[in-house]
Amino acid sequence: MDCIDALNRFGLTRQEALLYATLLEHGPQTGYEAAKRAGISRSNAYAALAGLAEKGGAMRSGGPAQRFSPTPRAEFLARLRAASDEALALLERELPERAPGEEPYLTVSGHGNVVDKMRAMLRAVQSHVYVSAHSAEAAHMADELADLAARGRKTVLICDADPGLPGVRLHHKAQERGHVKIIADTAAVLTGCLEPPGAAQCLYSRNGHLVRLMREAFLNELAVIARDGEDAPRAGQAPP
């Protein structure tokens, strides 16, 4: 993601975002000058500058040759932040909860979406979590795992390498790159593969039957590791 993409997320079109960055970099300009520097047509530039002004990102000057000045960066970002906070507050108040019913099996696709779901699951853990993953995938969750352990939540990780996370109960086992399994609070599960990144896909569910099956699979995996002596606990690590 770059600055233009980030501004898109706050409701600016790509051309509006591009022109705002151009105005910040080069100062007040006419529509013709801004179009030339941004590499877009004059007609599109004038329309985008008008839209940018309506959204609070630019101000017009008077005179025969109308010029556009950028709203100072700190002021505009504060405005975007306030608008975002207001929208989120409304959603928290007004969005309905999901209707009760049988918990579905959901597919999460896309590397970034899967990583976001993994992190969100960990941030929501109240009691305990079991994670089985290759060290490359565990790295995506390192901050959340460390935070859980620091807050006294039981945090168990089956991994091929020690990520060096204090308080996390580590069990060594060879893992296939890309694959990840998470069971959180014996209430939600996620399983799938992040490799190759362009085809990353995981199954997520709070279905009680699947949760129980995954829990049993985790416990069996830990039992096999203990039986085969694969564990090599780090110095000072407490037993599971």
Tens digit of each residue's pLDDT (9 = 90 or more) over 139-165: 999 999 999 999 999 999 999 999 999
- Return the pLDDT at 102: 57
CB neighbour class for 24 (10 Å; exposed up to 12, middle 13-18, buried from 19) = middle
d(CA 53, CA 17): 11
Lowest mean pLDDT among 60-69, 98-107, 168-177, 207-216: 98-107
Do residues 79 and 7 touch, judged by C-beta distance below 8 A? Answer: no
Q: What is the mean pLDDT of the chain?
A: 88
- Return the pLDDT at 168: 94
Report the CATH fold assignment for 105-228.
Answer: Endonuclease; Chain A (3.30.870)
Residue among 171, 120, 177 at smallest CA distance from 143: 120
pLDDT(227) > 80:
yes
In CATH, the architecture of 3-93 is Orthogonal Bundle (1.10)
Do residues 115 and 122 touch, judged by C-beta distance below 8 A? Answer: no
Query: What average pLDDT score do residues 55-61 get?
Result: 90
Full-model pTM: 0.63
Sorted by where each begins, the domain ranges of the chain are 3-93, 105-228
Lowest mean pLDDT among 9-23, 63-77, 116-130, 217-231: 217-231
Domains 3-93 and 105-228 share a fold: no
- Return the pLDDT at 103: 64
CA atoms within 13 A on the CB side of 3: 12
- Return the pLDDT at 129: 95
d(CA 156, CA 236): 16
Query: What average pLDDT score do residues 186-210 get?
Result: 92
Which has more pLDDT, 19 or 237? 19
